[in-house]
Chains A and B, each alone.
Chain A
Amino acid sequence: MAWVNAIIQGILTGGLYALFACGLSLMFGVMKVVNLAHGDLAIIGGYVALGVITVTHIPALWSFVIVVPIMALLGYVLQRTLIQAALDRGVLITLLVTFGLSVVIESGLLQFINADSHSLGVGESIITGSFSIGSQIQLSYLLLLIFVVAVVVLLGLQYFLSVSRYGRMIRAVADDQEAAQLSGVDYRHVFGIAAAIAFGTVALAGIAYGMYSQFSPTTGTDTILLFAFAAVVIGGLGSLWGTLLGGIVLGVAQQIGAQINQADQVLAGYLVFLAVLVLRPQGLTSRRAQS
Chain B
Amino acid sequence: MSVVTDTSVRSEENFRVTRSRRNVAWTGAGALVVVVVLALFPYIVYSGTTSLMVQGFIVVILASMWNLLAGYAGLVSVGQQAFIGLGAYFVLILAQHGTSPFGGLPIAAIGCGVAAVPLWWLVSRLRSGYFAIATWVLATTIMLFIERFPSIGGGTGMSLPGLSGYDPTLLVAYTYWIGLAVTVLSLVTVYVMLRGRIGLVLTAVRDDEVAARSSGARVGLARMLVFVVAAVGCGAAGALLAISQLIVQPGAVFTVRWTAIMAFAVIIGGLGTIEGPILGAIVYMILQQELQSYDAWYLIVLGLIAIAVALFARRGLWGLIDDHLHVRLFPVGYWLWTPESGGRHGGVKRGPGKRGLRPRRGGRPS
Known: A103-B260, A108-B300. A34 touches B133 (CB 8 A): yes
Interchain CB contact (< 8 A) of A36 among B132, B145, B296, B365: B132
Q: How far, in angstroms, from A101 to B306 measured CA to CA in the complex?
A: 10
A34 and B314 contact, CB distance less than 8 A: no
B137 and A226 contact, CB distance less than 8 A: yes
Counting CB contacts under 8 A, is A291 at the interface?
A: yes
Interchain CB contact (< 8 A) of B133 among A36, A266, A267: A36
Counting CB contacts under 8 A, is A278 at the interface?
A: yes
- Collect the chain A residues with CB atoms within 8 Å of residue B148's CB: 263-264, 267
Q: How large is the interface on A (under 10, 10 to 19, 20 to 34, 35 or more residues)?
A: 35 or more
Q: Which residue on chain A has the smallest CB distance to residue B144? A: A267
B129 and A28 contact, CB distance less than 8 A: yes
Contact with B along A80-100 (1 / 0, CB 8 A): 001001101101111111011
Q: How far, in angstroms, from A281 to B127 measured CA to CA in the complex?
A: 12
Known: A100-B306, A101-B307, A277-B122. A229 touches B78 (CB 8 A): no
Interface SS, B side: helix
- Collect the chain B residues with CB atoms within 8 Å of residue A88's CB: 365
Measured between C-beta atoms, what is the minimum distance from A104 to chain B in Å?
Answer: 4
B132 and A95 contact, CB distance less than 8 A: yes
Interchain CB contact (< 8 A) of A229 among B123, B137, B311: B137
- Collect the chain A residues with CB atoms within 8 Å of residue B193's CB: none
- Collect the chain B residues with CB atoms within 8 Å of residue A96's CB: 70, 76, 263, 267, 306-307, 310
Q: Which residue on chain A has the smallest CB distance to residue B133? A: A229
Counting CB contacts under 8 A, is B297 at the interface?
A: yes
B263 and A99 contact, CB distance less than 8 A: yes
- Collect the chain A residues with CB atoms within 8 Å of residue B296's CB: 107-108, 110-111
A86 and B299 contact, CB distance less than 8 A: no
Q: How far, in angstroms, from A267 to B140 measured CA to CA in the complex?
A: 9
- Collect the chain A residues with CB atoms within 8 Å of residue B145's CB: 267
Q: Which residue on chain A has the smallest CB distance to residue B122? A: A277
Interchain CB contact (< 8 A) of B303 among A93, A107, A230: A107
Counting CB contacts under 8 A, is A270 at the interface?
A: yes
- Find the residue from B76, B133, B134, B260 having the highest chain A CB count within 10 A: B133
Measured between C-beta atoms, what is the minimum distance from A202 to chain B in Å?
Answer: 16
Within 162-214 of B, Cβ neighbours of A (below 8 Å) are at: none
Measured between C-beta atoms, what is the minimum distance from B338 to chain A in Å?
Answer: 31
A104 and B304 contact, CB distance less than 8 A: yes
Known: A36-B78, A97-B310, A233-B134. A274 touches B128 (CB 8 A): no
A93 and B314 contact, CB distance less than 8 A: yes
B132 and A92 contact, CB distance less than 8 A: no
Within 2-39 of A, Cβ neighbours of B (below 8 Å) are at: 28, 33-34, 36
Q: How far, in angstroms, from A175 to B257 measured CA to CA in the complex?
A: 36
Within 248-277 of A, Cβ neighbours of B (below 8 Å) are at: 263-264, 266-267, 270-271, 273-274, 277
A100 and B307 contact, CB distance less than 8 A: yes
- Collect the chain A residues with CB atoms within 8 Å of residue B256's CB: 221
Counting CB contacts under 8 A, is A237 at the interface?
A: yes
- Collect the chain B residues with CB atoms within 8 Å of residue A229's CB: 130, 133-134, 136-137
- Collect the chain A residues with CB atoms within 8 Å of residue B128's CB: 34, 91-92, 95
- Collect the chain A residues with CB atoms within 8 Å of residue B365's CB: 88-89
Counting CB contacts under 8 A, is B125 at the interface?
A: yes
Q: How far, in angstroms, from A115 to B294 measured CA to CA in the complex?
A: 15
Measured between C-beta atoms, what is the minimum distance from A223 to chain B in Å?
Answer: 10
Measured between C-beta atoms, what is the minimum distance from B365 to chain A in Å?
Answer: 7
B134 and A34 contact, CB distance less than 8 A: no
B140 and A222 contact, CB distance less than 8 A: yes
Measured between C-beta atoms, what is the minimum distance from A128 to chain B in Å?
Answer: 31
- Collect the chain A residues with CB atoms within 8 Å of residue B335's CB: none
- Collect the chain B residues with CB atoms within 8 Å of residue A94's CB: 129
Interchain CB contact (< 8 A) of A111 among B133, B137, B297, B311: B297
Counting CB contacts under 8 A, is B74 at the interface?
A: yes
Measured between C-beta atoms, what is the minimum distance from A42 to chain B in Å?
Answer: 15
Within 152-173 of A, Cβ neighbours of B (below 8 Å) are at: none
Q: A93-B311, A226-B136, A233-B126 given. 19 additional CB < 8 A pairs? A: A33-B129, A34-B128, A82-B307, A82-B311, A91-B129, A92-B70, A96-B70, A99-B132, A100-B310, A101-B303, A103-B257, A104-B303, A221-B256, A226-B137, A229-B137, A271-B141, A274-B138, A277-B123, A290-B126
14 contacts between A and B (CB under 8 A): A34-B132, A34-B133, A82-B307, A89-B365, A92-B70, A96-B76, A100-B307, A101-B303, A101-B307, A104-B307, A111-B300, A229-B137, A277-B123, A281-B125
